[in-house]
Amino acid sequence: MALSAAPVRLVATALVGAACLVLAATPAGAAGPPPQDPTLDVVGVAIVRGGQAILLATRGVDDHLQRWRFRSLDTRDLPQPIREVALAASGTKLFLETGTGPSVLDLTREYRHNAPLQYVDARDAATDGAAGRTVHRLPSQRFVSMRNGMVRVLDDLGGVRSEYLAADARLAGVTGDDVVLYVGTDRRVDVCAGLPSDPNACRELPTLGDGDAVAIVSRPGPRPLDEIATRFLVLSGPIDSTRIVDPERELAPGPPLRRAEAALRACLMLHHLAASDALMTSAIDALLREAPATSAATGEPVADWRFFRVTPDEELYAPVLQFMRREAAYPDAFETLEMLGGATAKGTPHEIADTLLAKYLRLTAAERRQRCTIYVRTTSVPGSWIIEYWFYYPFDLGGLGAHLHDPEHLFVEVDKLGGTVRRVIGAGHGYVAGNNIYSSDRAGALPIELPLFAMVEFGKHATATDIDRDGIFTPGLDENEYRERAKIWGVRDVIGSINNQLIAYDRTMSGLRSQEDALAPLSIGTYFPQETALSARACCRLVPLPDGQPELPACPSPTTDCARRSVISHPDTRARETILKEWVFPHAFLRAIYGLGPRQRLNSAGIGYAVDLYRMPLLGRLMPMPGRVGGEIFGWRQDLTVDDRDSCLADCKRATGVGVGVRYEQFVSNLFGIYTAVRVYSPPVSDIWITFGPMVEVPVLNRSNVNFQAGLSFRPYASPRFELKLSVGLWKPKSNHFGIRAGHDHEIPE
């Protein structure tokens, strides 16, 4: 067909302008993060119905109706009653004082993720040093057991620690630096630090005043250098008039408060966190209002809470890296290339890279593996933590675009309610490819077990989750963000050797991994003593990701500064949500559409909305098909002077009009796809054209996408014509984000 130049220039200008507006739009939160909520990393624990259930609560993403999110544990089969609870500093273990003695639950272990009321089998609990069904250990964690008038200090398996004084007391608390506070039945208070045999280990404190002490709140970490920092606070008095007492200072008790509010304030005070009275009151009001609707409470009020400030243990979630047998480059320190002489090397960049690689390969494979370094950074968001594990490879050895400085990464989103892994994101390769994302919140998804396993692409070092730990990447089991194989990156070990970066993933692209070739964190044997085979592969040390200037661009020089900048300046470091690649295969989006044809000098422009079929209500269940469907409304203009009567719209009586259309689109690779469309130029049923053809879609800076379609159009009594379509993404719903929204435990997060 012949195309007129004027309309093309006019609409091209308009589309460029629309794209510029999209790209220039300020992303949400660009003005700077809001002030940190001091309750963000606080988890509340309550005993419900005398121990029949346990309820955990933390702040979630505020949905304007609810502020807290909950996790309910069905503990009716544990020895009753349950009298006391305590949470580990990592939030991953729960201590229970049951009817027959102390027990410790591993909260990272689930039978079914997001079950409304999660059943706890009596065999799950660790008791008297026996692990039960415990998955991980916390070597430095201590709990206190108060039974039959005797207080003992226990480890994370409920075993008695003999190095601590067993005292005749009614209440006790232990800090993260092994200091114990004892409160006797006569209100006598003693604080002990050191071995019981040391005559100076304990000292007596002033006796508590009037009011029964009901709980001790302890600092979970070591005491700061400031020796006057508070280590313990005692809650004293009835549930509706509880006061906060500092047993180590002769200060007047605080004002009477509701027990829950007093417990929350004491938790924050121990960490030198300040919160306004209005914030505290509103937070507790919301908690007491929302808790009865949970599966644990079943309508009963829940007023007695204990609060704990928790911090994720980055060693616990560090991945076991699974490499191919012939891998040559491993994660290393930023200083590696300078150690090899990069700062003084002479020659062209290619010659310098070859020289440094030759020196690197002179190290034995064992020496290179022992240098394994993982850089880590953690960010707290409502409901979860984002732990970023960064792997710096001094060399990218893939056949396609080999280079110095290869930064790769794996992000782990951890639920604050028990430390379960909510999502793991492995960075794939390529601007137009999605990342490897596995979410335990998806329908039918298996819970993510610890320790985590990740596969590393041969030579190129992209990462992918290995949820079932079989050393083979399986779509649907190891990645469940995308429902279509064409959208999955996976692990492409032969990238560069054969041309497979722009075709759909299949299993022949990945080789089999073996644990013999894995690299594990140095702490694997400490946290997971049952993983004896991995202990022999333990060599990766965790190092905090250093601060830097992310605005500085990456640089190719073989220096430590350029190595560090390759990570610090990475888009996913600058803005963590970039790793979600929202505009790579968006699930739903609004777009502007411009078309040429099918008639000569027929132009159309309009607006459309596309959504994945499986995301559509009802239709997604009735027709579980791949692809997406889009609707559109458009205005059209035709040149009536064109001598092409059989394709003329509206019987050549009108030059302009308004039409509607629907189109089905399916990707066959991460770049290319096919489509079919039905357009009605003169509604309701006149001037119908049906089009088939290929398409190309490319994301634009994670803020938009551009889709180009070229097809052959048909209609009755007219010869086939060509149609060209260009669309630009304008907006998409926020369907993928970090953090977990507030809501009851029977509401599955999205």
CATH of the structural domain 42-309, one choice from 3.30.450, 1.10.3470, 2.120.10, 3.30.1450: 2.120.10
Return the number of other C-beta atoms located less than 10 Å from residue 488's C-beta.
Answer: 27
For 220-247, write each residue's pLDDT tens digit. Answer: 876 665 556 789 999 999 999 999 999 9
> Sign of the CA dihedral 494, 495, 499, 502?
positive
Within 8 A by CB and 6+ apart from 640, the residues are 648, 652, 655
Within 8 A by CB and 6+ apart from 252, the residues are none
| CA 160/CA 174 separation, integer angstroms | 14
Mean pLDDT of 165-192: 88
User: Would you state the pLDDT for residue 543?
Assistant: 97
pLDDT at residue 513 tops 50: yes
Give CATH 2.40.160 domain extents, the chain: 583-731
User: Would you state the pLDDT for residue 253?
Assistant: 84
pLDDT at residue 211 tops 70: no
Q: Which of 434, 416, 415, 413 is nearest to 424 (CA)?
A: 413
Q: Which residue has the tokens 């989750």?
A: 465
Lookup: tokens for 97: 């004082």
For 26-37, write each residue's pLDDT tens digit. Answer: 333 333 344 578
Beta strands in 574-623 (DSSP E): 588-596, 602-612
| Lowest-pLDDT range of 255-264, 499-508, 705-714 | 499-508
pLDDT band at 13 (very low <50, low <70, confident <90, very high): very low
* Exposure letters 377-403 (e unless 16+ CB within 10 A, then b): bbebbbbbbbbbbbbbbbbbbbeeebe
Cα dist. 80→49, 77, 402 in Å? 11, 8, 63
For 636-667, write each residue's pLDDT tens digit. Answer: 999 988 887 778 888 888 999 999 999 999 99
User: Would you state the pLDDT for residue 443?
Assistant: 81
CATH number of 583-731: 2.40.160
| CA 275/CA 66 separation, integer angstroms | 20
* Exposure letters 248-280 (e unless 16+ CB within 10 A, then b): beeeebbeebbbbbbbbbbbbbbeebebeeeeb
| Lowest-pLDDT range of 89-98, 244-253, 344-353, 541-550 | 244-253
Within 8 A by CB and 6+ apart from 37, the residues are 59, 279, 382
| Lowest-pLDDT range of 85-99, 195-209, 309-323, 723-737 | 195-209
- Side chain identity, residue 497: S
Backbone angles phi, psi at 650, to 5 degrees: 55, 35
The three-class DSSP label of residue 519 is strand
Lookup: tokens for 587: 């699930």
- The answer to whether 386 touches 379, Cβ cutoff 8 Å, is yes
| CA 209/CA 557 separation, integer angstroms | 68
Backbone angles phi, psi at 330, to 5 degrees: -125, 165
Angle value at C-alpha 406, between 400 and 407, nearest 5 degrees: 135
H or E element at residue 369: helix 365-370
Higher pLDDT, 35 or 38: 38
Q: Which of 674, 10, 3, 90 is nearest to 417 (CA)?
A: 90
Mean pLDDT of 588-596: 97
User: Would you state the pLDDT for residue 498?
Assistant: 77
Mean pLDDT of 447-453: 95
pLDDT at residue 20 tops 70: no
Angle value at C-alpha 402, between 401 and 407, nearest 5 degrees: 105
Within 8 A by CB and 6+ apart from 328, the residues are 361, 365, 368, 395, 397, 459
User: Would you state the pLDDT for residue 10?
Assistant: 37
User: Would you state the pLDDT for residue 37?
Assistant: 84
Lookup: tokens for 510: 């990945």
Q: Is 627 left (phi over 0), alpha (psi -120 to 50) or beta?
A: left
Query: CA neighbours within 13 Å on the CB side: how many for 306?
Result: 24
Lookup: tokens for 196: 């019981």
Within 8 A by CB and 6+ apart from 504, the residues are 485, 486, 488, 668, 669, 670
Provide, rounded to the nearest whole percent, the portion of the chain with pLDDT above 70: 92
H or E element at residue 393: strand 384-396
User: Would you state the pLDDT for residue 25?
Assistant: 39
Give CATH 2.120.10 domain extents, the chain: 42-309
Higher pLDDT, 228 or 571: 571
| CA 304/CA 259 separation, integer angstroms | 6
pLDDT band at 494 (very low <50, low <70, confident <90, very high): confident
User: Would you state the pLDDT for residue 225?
Assistant: 56
Cα dist. 41→384, 416, 419, 572, 740 in Å? 9, 8, 12, 23, 13
Lookup: tokens for 610: 């596309």
pTM for the model stands at 0.92
Residues in the chain: 750
pLDDT at residue 210 tops 90: no
Mean pLDDT of 600-624: 86
Mean pLDDT of 57-71: 90
Lookup: tokens for 300: 């009963």
| Residue-wise DSSP of 41-90 | TEEEEEEEGGGTEEEEEEE-B--SS--EEEEEEE-TTSSSPP-EEEE-TT
For the chain, the average pLDDT equals 89
- The answer to whether 689 touches 714, Cβ cutoff 8 Å, is yes
Provide, rounded to the nearest whole percent, the portion of the chain with pLDDT above 90: 68
| CA 38/CA 272 separation, integer angstroms | 10
| CA 81/CA 91 separation, integer angstroms | 23
pLDDT at residue 114 tops 70: yes
| CA 560/CA 563 separation, integer angstroms | 5
Pairing status of strand 628-638 against strand 143-147 = unpaired
| CA 254/CA 280 separation, integer angstroms | 15
- Side chain identity, residue 613: L
| CA 16/CA 8 separation, integer angstroms | 12
Q: Which residue has the tokens 């938009």?
A: 704
- The answer to whether 138 touches 90, Cβ cutoff 8 Å, is yes
Facing residues of 736 across strands?
none
User: Would you state the pLDDT for residue 226?
Assistant: 57
| CA 203/CA 188 separation, integer angstroms | 11
User: Would you state the pLDDT for residue 35?
Assistant: 54
Cα Rg of the chain (Å, integer)? 31
| CA 632/CA 211 separation, integer angstroms | 71
Q: Which of 11, 1, 120, 100 is nearest to 55 (CA)?
A: 120
Q: Is 75 left (phi over 0), alpha (psi -120 to 50) or beta?
A: alpha
Mean pLDDT of 179-194: 87
For 368-416, write each residue's pLDDT tens digit. Answer: 999 999 999 999 999 999 999 999 999 998 777 789 999 999 999 999 9
- Side chain identity, residue 4: S
| Lowest-pLDDT range of 71-80, 191-200, 401-410, 564-573 | 191-200
Lookup: tokens for 185: 């039945």
